[in-house]
Structure 1
Amino acid sequence: MVAVTEGEFVMGADGTQALEDERPAHRPWLAAFSIDVHEVTTAHYAEFLKASGRPAPWQWETVELSRHGDRPVIGVDWADADAYCRWRGKRLPTEAEWEKAARGTDGRLYPWGNQGPVPDLANFALGARFSYSQVLMPVHSYERGKSPFGALQMAGNVYEWVQDWYGANYYELSSDRNPTGPDQGQFKVLRGGSWSDLPKYLLTYGRFKLPPETRNSYTGFRCAK
């Protein structure tokens, strides 16, 4: 894990580049926390399945741990991700924690800075056809694309579930200290973009939402504490 220091940071964005649910830019204060350097891998998730007896993720039958053990697990719904983090003595990051860990405190557009994504910074724009071998990259790849706090692949590879329920206008009413999202909702928030996405979905402030029971080929997670 890497440590993220306490304090304010710029969350969201203003102007025409930002979607309505990404506005306005605001400055929440967060307590110090830690976040995983890497997305959770199939090898780590296999340990959890063995210990917990939880049903396997979607597409799990295509996993070969000898070849894919360092790839991010996909096909997990929100409850799977939440259960894994708890099993590890951790939790899912809040949406604000995730954005600060990816963005730092200078309001940058991508984890590595303001330059648009290129193939040696992130794994993205690979179309829609999934296979563990061909579209997912090992979680320790893209050292040049790391965030200011040292977390890897917070843009691309897989979308990441976070703790919060989604609220379209939440930024207009969110707490200015340790915001945790709405009390309830229909969707959970995901962050970071995936192997199949265009560059605009890799922005540090970009928000995505899915029903919590969704399992697909472009969603994984990492834990915080």
Structure 2
Amino acid sequence: MASVPTPGGIVDLPASDYCLRFVVEGVPGETELRLAAKPGFPRPVIDVSRYRPRGSARRVRSQPVRERIPEVDACARVRTELLDNRSYVDAHKWLNENRSSLSSEIYGFLRALSDAVQATRRMETDNTRKRLQEAQRFLNGFEVGVAECARGLFGDLREGLLLPVGFEDGDEAGPTGTPQQLGHAARGVVPVVIRHKETGLTFRLVPGLTFGQGCVPRAIGETGSCDLAEQPQHSVTVADFWMMTTETPLAAYRRFVRDRGLSIVLPTRTTGDDEVPARSVPWGVAEQFCRRLGARLPSESEWDLAARSNDGASIIDWETIGGVGPAEVRYGDAGKLGIYHLLGNVEEWVQDVWHSDYRGAPRHGRPWVDGADPDYRVLRGGTFAVHEAEITPWRRNMNLMDVHFETIGFRCAVSVEGPPTAFAVGR
């Protein structure tokens, strides 16, 4: 038991008394004062006047706490749980069990980082970004030795594919809470929606971002794995662009082709409801249609970013529509970006030539069109004919560019830099 002070007095503590609970008469509860006494340093002293008690101190009692865990050791332990064991659950458990032995800064940093891993596993994009921003604030305040350990953990998690590549040390969040936004969208000067004047087709803004393209490994206890075609995950920087709000509707596709007298043969199997997606469209026809709009097919990286960023969108799979599809282009929820059916309904052509994996993939976000057979093009998004477990933002497919399959459709994209006069701002 330490000596009892008067209000505004000084308490001189033995070196073993690391924790005090200070009780003031007339004030409910206790005020806990936690001290760290290090070997070789003077005994800790607490100035009671800093806490401005409103009555006389009735008692001050002390109790020892567990030995402090070095911050570098804490980094190493959490790294083991997250990377070697691939378990954010065990990381959380260890942090909770040892919270009293960790500084508030290192605990906050490691907890935010493990929470970010958990959010990444659950595809909770916004939550991942928030947790990473929280971890970054702690990181900026660390001393040199601890900062080196913490930055190393950041890098290890990215290399281990447990965190999205793109939240680099020192990056700040843009006005929408998205880290490392690029171009005009980060400055808030790009319209969210543009409309093609002739067809009425709308396009919504996808803010540019540096992110990790490729498969995200599943957490322990979940099923599924990465295909070789989806690896390795790699950092890609995509500039701002607009993506068509829906798959290309059959009505707009048919009308535009006929009204313009284009040299495009409408596939005989694209019949039925005008609001279903245009299907059985070969790659070259889809590309020509987009070009005549003043648009283009999206790159694979652009498509990937849009799909990952569109939280809350409906996934149109076999169960959703009872195996009879596809659904109409505006069926279900459009998600955070306001873009329908990036996942499911019909597969969508992108510009890129098919490569069997991402080795050697460019990091600029533009189409990857060299180094492989140009007759084979990439398809993204999955279809209504498969189950939801087979539909992910990173799942890749391919086919010959001149095939006519009823599960293949497309949508167009527009670059932010100098959109053509064929477009107007707003719906």
TM-score w.r.t. length of structure 1: 0.82
CA 1:77–1:165 in structure 2 vs 1: closer, same or farther (change >3 Å)?
same
Describe the SS at the equivalent of 2:342: coil
Shift of 1:138: 1.0
Describe the SS at the equivalent of 1:27: strand
CA 1:161–1:96 in structure 2 vs 1: closer, same or farther (change >3 Å)?
same
Shift of 1:179: 3.7
Counterpart-to-counterpart distance in 1, 2:361 and 2:268: 34
Counterpart-to-counterpart distance in 2, 1:223 and 1:176: 21
Matched, 1:181 2:380: no
Which aligned pairs between 1:162-181 and structure 2 lie closer than 5 A?
A: 162-169=350-357, 171-181=358-368
Question: Counterpart of 2:264?
Answer: 54
Identity %: 27
Counterpart-to-counterpart distance in 2, 1:191 and 1:72: 15
- Whether the 8 Å contact between 1:147 and 1:154 is mirrored in structure 2 is no
Question: Counterpart of 2:343?
Answer: 155
Counterpart-to-counterpart distance in 2, 1:147 and 1:180: 25
Counterpart-to-counterpart distance in 1, 2:336 and 2:231: 23
Which aligned pairs between 1:27-106 and structure 2 lie closer than 5 A?
A: 27-50=235-258, 51=260, 52-60=262-270, 63-64=271-272, 68-104=273-309
Between 70-79 and 149-158, report the one with greater CA deviation: 149-158
Question: Counterpart of 2:311?
Answer: 112
Shift of 1:195: 1.1
Counterpart-to-counterpart distance in 1, 2:255 and 2:263: 10
Structure with bigger RCO (C-alpha 8 Å, 6+ apart):
1
- Whether the 8 Å contact between 2:349 and 2:378 is mirrored in structure 1 is yes
Task: Give CA-to-partner distance per residue, 1:100-151, whole Å, 9 cap, x none.
Answer: 01112xxxxxx536xxxxxx9332126xxx9xxx4121111111xx344221
Describe the SS at the equivalent of 2:306: helix
Which aligned pairs between 1:6-25 and structure 2 lie closer than 5 A?
A: 6-15=208-217, 17-25=225-233
Give the structure with the larger strand fraction: 2
Question: Counterpart of 2:318?
Answer: 125
Letter in 2 for 1:56: L
Shift of 1:96: 0.3
Question: Counterpart of 2:325?
Answer: 135
Letter in 1 for 2:348: E
Question: Counterpart of 2:122?
Answer: none
Shift of 1:172: 1.9
Question: Counterpart of 1:194?
Answer: 383
Count of aligned residue pairs for this structure pair: 200
Counterpart-to-counterpart distance in 1, 2:216 and 2:359: 12
Query: What's the RMSD between the two structures over aligned residues?
Result: 2.1
Counterpart-to-counterpart distance in 1, 2:335 and 2:364: 22
Letter in 2 for 1:137: A
Runs of 4+ in structure 1 displaced over 4 angstroms?
A: none
Describe the SS at the equivalent of 1:210: strand
Counterpart-to-counterpart distance in 2, 1:149 and 1:92: 18
- Max Rg structure: 2
Counterpart-to-counterpart distance in 1, 2:244 and 2:389: 24
- Whether the 8 Å contact between 2:315 and 2:388 is mirrored in structure 1 is no
Give the structure with the larger helix fraction: 2
Shift of 1:26: 1.7
Letter in 1 for 2:328: P
Question: Counterpart of 1:208?
Answer: 397
Letter in 2 for 1:9: F
Counterpart-to-counterpart distance in 2, 1:197 and 1:167: 23
Residue ranges of structure 1 left out of the alignment (5+ in a row): 105-110, 114-119
